[in-house]
Chains A and B, each alone.
Chain A
Amino acid sequence: MSLLDLLALLPILILVFGGTAILMAGAWYREPRPLLAGGIVTALLGAVAAGLVQPPTAEIAGLFSAGGYARFYTILWSLLAAAGLMVAARYVIEKKIGAGEYVSLVLYAAAGMALLSSATHLLGLFLALETFTLAFYILIASNRRCELAAEAGLKYLLMGAVATGFMAFGIALIYAASGSLALPEAVVRLTTTTGELHAWGLLGWGMVLIAVGFKISLAPFHLWTPDVYQGAPAPVAGLLATGSKGAVVAALVGMLAMAGPIWHDLVDLIWLLAALTMLVGAFSALSQKNLKRLLAYSSVTHMGTLLVGLLCQTTDGLAATTFYVVIYVVASFGAFAVIASLADERGEPMEFDQWRGLGYRHPVRCGVLTLLLLSLAGLPATAGFMAKFAIFHAALQSGYVGLVLIGVFASVISFAFYLRVTILLFQPEASASRWHKGATPEHAVLAVCASAVLLLGFFPGLLFDLIAHILP
């Protein structure tokens, strides 16, 4: 690794070394506020570095790309980490969690996600995936006094271990079949092989796909999702639902752009996964009585929709997928941020009974939540509509009419469960109790999410133009 490589890696280095410095500082200095502030500044610095510093090389050590696409996601995940810390600040302080540890783990996770999104080598992919998964094991269970959190942490750990196993075995098979781990070659060589080797390679890719399925909770590998989201504190669940999944999808987009014919052998499988995931997620969400579990299932159906975009494999499809990832991250993280901002000494409002009539107690934040949920549902004039529109558009262009119809059907179901929450929020007769009034950083994050959803709903061209420039 040369000096130029290091310069190209600068944003990640900022996140990692900044995180380490804060971890060390936290060991001596227990005051949480400066540490949290330091974490936020570090994450923002990472984003700025990714945006401004021109990478001198296109690739880092043959493992990671430093192109526009990688940079785009580095910025996104750094900003997400900053938002995650802003939302978590009150939680960390009130629950007396070691601020140094918390901040550093979030920054490590962001670094892992950024690396994953820019992976060009299966080893890099594996390393990055493990980096942020490890951070999340701890973050989920960070509140040691909470049993649900401990259970969630354990579940995520077990699930993660299984996924890691599949991933490692899959990668080994791919290597055996193609003799390469670098991404274009591993795929390209596989297309030229025939017979037994080709079959091994396909099996390897299938296993990688299963591991991915666990990570982004595709049905039928999604069962851990609601329990973990429910148990994890909302600021962590927000990161988990958005960043950890978005980064994997981003890596898939990167792979797909380079991979070609190999996917044709897997198209039927992905088709089935996408259809199943959209439907299972939507139907399961319908019967939930807990907002966090509902958001978990909602994330499942969104991942199904994203898979539809990936399946198209056209520039349009990949652009649509990228757009969708960004919008999903903003809206879904915002929804978790609303929960976090309402949390007080009683915990977080989760059960539907706690939400009934809350719209009259906390009109602004419930209004924002309504907007974000409607965006997740895909109502026109919000960014969520443009995202769904783009995906369906790409899918119809590629001829996946059946999948689009299934997606439309799942959308109808999604509207039903999102709307149920909004009805609940504005139930006139109920007397909801008052929750926390929220701290300034939390309000700031919500304001950003809400304005992004509206702005990109009316002017999606802003983001589409950017994406068109950076797609690999």
Chain B
Amino acid sequence: MTELASLPQFPGLTLLVLLPLAGALLCMFHGKRSAECRWLALATSLAVFAVTVYLFVCHGQGDGRWLLYEDAVWIERYGIRYVLAMDGIALLMVLLTAFMQIAAVLLAWRVERHVSSFFALLLLLEAGLMGIFLAYDLVLFYLFWEVALIPMFFLISVWGGVNRRQAALKFFLYTLVGSLCMLVAMIALYQIHGAQSGVYTFVIGELLQTQLTAAQEGWLFAGFMAAFIVKSPLVPFHTWLTDALTEAPAAGSLDLTGLLLKTGIYGLIRIAFPLFPNATANFLPVLGVLALVGLFHAAWSAYHQDDIKRLLAYSSISHLGLVVLGLAAWQFTAWEGSILLMVTHGITTGALFILVALIRERTDTRSMQELGGLWGQAPCLAFMFLLFSLASLGLPGLANFAGEILVLLGTFQEHPLWAVIALLGVVFTAAYMLRMIQGVIWGPARKERTLPDLTAREWLILLPMAILVVWLGIYPEPFLAPLHGTVATLLAGGLP
């Protein structure tokens, strides 16, 4: 680690945080000229994406724990350091964030009210997300964790749907309760570590060596889990998500489902599991059961939705249940599958949220009662909808399949029963997805409408996602390659 840090190098990771932040500030001060803000936001997102691609190409194949590591003193008094560290998982998440951000900016192109603030918040959110995925100091992590909440809070509360205020407050307070528990646990861990070793530090890498009694470990683990489980979200802490997703503006839902939800699971992988291996080992069965319950409960709820945005919200919870199940299996293949599924779910469900927004723009409704017959009215739009729905239900050859099959295979080796139950859940997914496809695309049109098909801007958003979905379905290996080393390390360092 230290020899990496001492090398004078291109501060790519800092750039990932600072670029969107700078873009956000510029947007903020451009208040009146909304057209410029759009281009500014797009340019920033493209630049960030370029940096992530550069990191992927140049640093994606490193061996050892870290691909990149940046370290600087920040608040000396409390041993808080500015540490950004990128491993294989972080690399994928960062790549996903940058990619989705471009889609979000393009999707928000037609926002009319308070354009500059909207784009500023969107970019601020990106900065926060990048920070969450990269920070390797607990306080720094906590800072980004909370900072990412604020833009999302305002995106929902100002640009959201009818019930936006309640949804925004609910979103904020739910996640806040969890994160404050984490804060207390963080400080306690810091003090225990300091008392043992005499070194007071919040750097996760050093806190790993703390000796904890079983009771201490249990309590601290619970504090961290409170934050991550609420954010993931596992049933029964998921009710904030459906409201937030339903009320958020299109670009907000995209970032929320595609990226923000992943931070909870990412926190499990990167922080909670490695810090508290014994508590984790005890908790894994519970986690597995919670994941299965979530998988089924959400799928069941999704099946009964009429609002397609709400349906997708439940489907997100259901998919993330599968992701968590893979983690709970604690098996190499399942973990890789989970992480891959996190990425592919971000893309497929994100794309579906985009399509829902496009359908909503054209028809002014999201109710399956009033939709239908899209294939005849707007074939390209309908095709995209079909493609991403099929990808989402796990059709072989499309993105989610690779992740799901890895999760199921891996889980089967450790807990055959879980895998069998989860397989039934996947069937369930197919049921509600097909019902949605049927309700939206096929059948007679409930209302006679002439719908404009995809515009150039919309093609620009969807086509890269479609290509990626096919690519990830057929040949995911380039994206799995950086994971191998990291996952092996995490699994070995985790359980005794």
A-B contact count (CB 8 A): 77
| A-chain residues with CB within 8 Å of residue B153 when the two chains form the complex | 419
Cβ-neighbour of A412 out of B76, B146, B159, B180 (below 8 A): B180
Of B114, B172, B173, B181, the residue contacting A408 (CB under 8 A) is B181
A88-B173 Cα distance, complex, nearest whole Å? 36
B75 CB-CB contact with A under 8 Å: yes
Contacts of B172 in A (CB 8 A): 415, 419
**Cβ of B11 to closest chain A Cβ, rounded Å:** 17
Contact A411 to B180, CB < 8 A, known contacts A416-B173, A428-B158: yes
Near A by CB (< 8 A), chain B positions 45-83 give 75-78
Closest chain B CB from A450 CB (angstroms): 13
Which B residues touch A380, using CB under 8 A? 142-143, 145-147
Assess the A360–B114 pair: CB atoms within 8 A. yes
Quick one: given A360-B114, A428-B158, are A423 and B168 in contact (CB under 8 Å)? yes
Is A266 located at the chain interface by the 8 A CB criterion? Answer: no
Q: Which residues of chain B are near A379, meaning CB under 8 Å?
A: 146-147, 150
Chain A residue with Cβ nearest B158: A426
Question: Which residues of chain B come closer than 8 Å to A420, judged between CB atoms?
Answer: 169
CA distance A328 to B245 in the complex (A): 35
- Chain A residue with the shortest CB-CB distance to B195: A397
B222 CB, nearest partner CB in chain A, Å: 12
Given A363-B31, A412-B177, A415-B173: A396 and B168 interface contact (C-beta under 8 Å): no
A392 to B182, CA, bound (A): 13
Q: Does residue A381 face the partner (Cβ distance < 8 Å to B)?
A: yes
> Distance (Å) between the CB of A349 and the closest chain B CB?
20
Q: Which residues from 121 to 175 on chain A have a C-beta closer than 8 Å to any C-beta of chain B?
A: none
Q: Are A408 and B183 within 8 A (Cβ)? A: yes
Chain A residues numbered 14-61 whose CB sits less than 8 Å from any CB in chain B: none
Q: Which of A385, A386, A390, A392 contacts B184 (CB 8 A)?
A: A392
Establish whether residues B187 and A393, one from each chain, have CB atoms under 8 Å apart when the complex forms: yes
Measured in the bound complex, the distance between the Cα atoms of B188 and A459 in whole Å is: 23
B176 contacts chain A at the CB level, 8 A cutoff: yes
Number of interface residues of A (CB under 8 A): 34
**When the two chains form their complex, are residues A381 and B143 in contact, meaning their CB atoms are under 8 A apart?**
yes
Let me know if A374 is at the binding interface, CB within 8 A. Answer: yes
A444 cross-chain contacts in B, Cβ below 8 A: none
B 145-204 contacts with A by CB, 8 A:
145-147, 150, 153-154, 157-159, 165, 168-169, 172-173, 176-177, 180-181, 183-184, 187-188, 190-191
CB distance from A373 to the nearest CB of B (A): 12
A4 within 8 A of B: no
B113: Cβ under 8 A from any A Cβ: yes
Docked Cα-Cα span, A459 to B173, in Å, equals 27
B75 to chain A: which residues have CB within 8 Å?
A: 386, 459-461, 464
How far apart sit A2 and B153, CA to CA, in the bound complex (Å)? 61
Q: Give which listed residue, A386, A408, A468, contacts B180 with CB less than 8 A.
A: A408
Interface residue? A404 (CB, 8 A): yes
Supposing A380-B142, A426-B157, A461-B75 touch, asked if A405 and B169 sit within 8 A by C-beta, the answer is no
- A428 to B180 alpha-carbon distance, docked (Å): 30
B161 smallest CB distance to A (angstroms): 12
Given contacts A415-B172, A423-B165, A460-B75, contact A397 B150 (CB under 8 A): no
Interface pair A464/B77, CB less than 8 Å apart = yes
Contacts A380-B143, A415-B176 given: A393-B78 contact, CB under 8 Å? yes
Q: Which residue of chain A lies nearest to B160 when distances are taken between CB atoms in the complex?
A: A428
Pairwise interchain contact A423-B157, C-beta atoms closer than 8 A: yes
A273 to B113, CA, bound (A): 47
User: Which chain A residue shows the least CB distance to B165?
Assistant: A423
Interface string of A432-472 (1 = CB under 8 A from B): 00000000000000000000000000011100110010000
Q: Tell me which residues across on chain B come within 8 A of A423, comparing CB atoms.
A: 157, 165, 168-169
Subset of 8 A-B contacts with CB under 8 Å: A363-B31, A379-B146, A380-B146, A381-B146, A385-B146, A392-B187, A412-B176, A428-B158
Return the 4 tightest CB-CB contacts between A and B, nearest first.
A380-B143, A380-B146, A408-B180, A423-B157
